[in-house]
Chains A and B, each alone.
Chain A
């Protein structure tokens, strides 16, 4: 990830002449992280691409309102999280719960970006059964090995609640895999 000087970026955002260039730097710096955070939620490339682009467009529109009260990535993450939730709600409305389960599982098999074995596929199927926020927490802890404090700052939930959420997620995944064995 390319590091950027947030103070410098904030100054350049305020200036209409340098705003566009500054935003391109933001996109280059944070788009990878955002992509995977969104992917944890929606779990396929095409939907992630849609949600990520919507996130960045909304960020551009709201850029003037960003005063630097939080870290820039935290601000972008919150937009991405809300966009992902909106997307998941729309997808849920379009199909019944049974259909959704089928599509989620079928996506892993058909997804050309899925690069793993049968065990990992089962793990991802188990992860897909978790509620969106719990899925985020589990993925950030398990796949990124982030500290609870970092996750807490990002998602705005207490460390204790995150620990409990991760513990419950692991139990659910274990139960899912045992039931499939």
Chain B
């Protein structure tokens, strides 16, 4: 094992290779107490800051409240519009249309049946109809 390693494993341990002046410790208590005094003076400024902070918080709180009120108003308006729309717009319109179409279809069917019955009664065929349509009587 090298000399360097022997020093590390020296059972007596080693000397910590840093030093510091004794004067540093002589003045330390005074410096710390000065710093503590400075910190103790700070609460006044901190209170002012906290007051300012609380005002800012109030403003933010009001903004937040206004936002909530706006959101609730919009939601209520939408619900009201939806309710009115459901109430006044006829929801059975498609059914009526279907009924009208059914009536029209039935009427057309009845008309066709009537024409067929008429043709059967008069014994007219398609050729008679063509001639009739081409004749001067129809044009007039």
Contact = CB atoms under 8 A, between A and B. Distances in A.
Interface of A: 20, 23-24, 27-28, 31-32, 35-36, 39, 45, 49, 52-53, 56-57, 60, 111, 113-116, 119-124, 139, 141-145, 170, 173-174, 177-178, 181
B18 A114 contact: yes
B41 interface: no
Given A31-B25, A115-B19, A119-B4, A170 B35 contact: no
B20 interface: yes
A32 B23 CA distance: 12
Contacts, number: 77
Interface in B18-37: 18-20, 24-25, 28-29, 31-33, 35-36
Interface stretch (B9-17, B53-61, B77-85): B9-17
Q: Top 4 closest A-B pairs, CB basis? A: A116-B17, A120-B17, A27-B29, A143-B16
Interface in B70-101: none
A181 B20 contact: no
Interface of B: 2-5, 7-9, 12-20, 24-25, 28-29, 31-33, 35-36, 39
A69 B68 CA distance: 51
Nearest to A39: B18
A20 B18 contact: no
Of the candidates A28, A49, A56, the one having the most CB atoms from chain B within 10 angstroms of its own CB is: A56
A interface, by DSSP: helix, strand, loop or mixed?
helix
A140 to B, nearest CB: 10
B8 A174 contact: yes
Nearest to A29: B29
Contacts of B17: 114-116, 120-121, 123-124
A59 to B, nearest CB: 9
Contact of A57 (B12, B16, B28, B39): B39
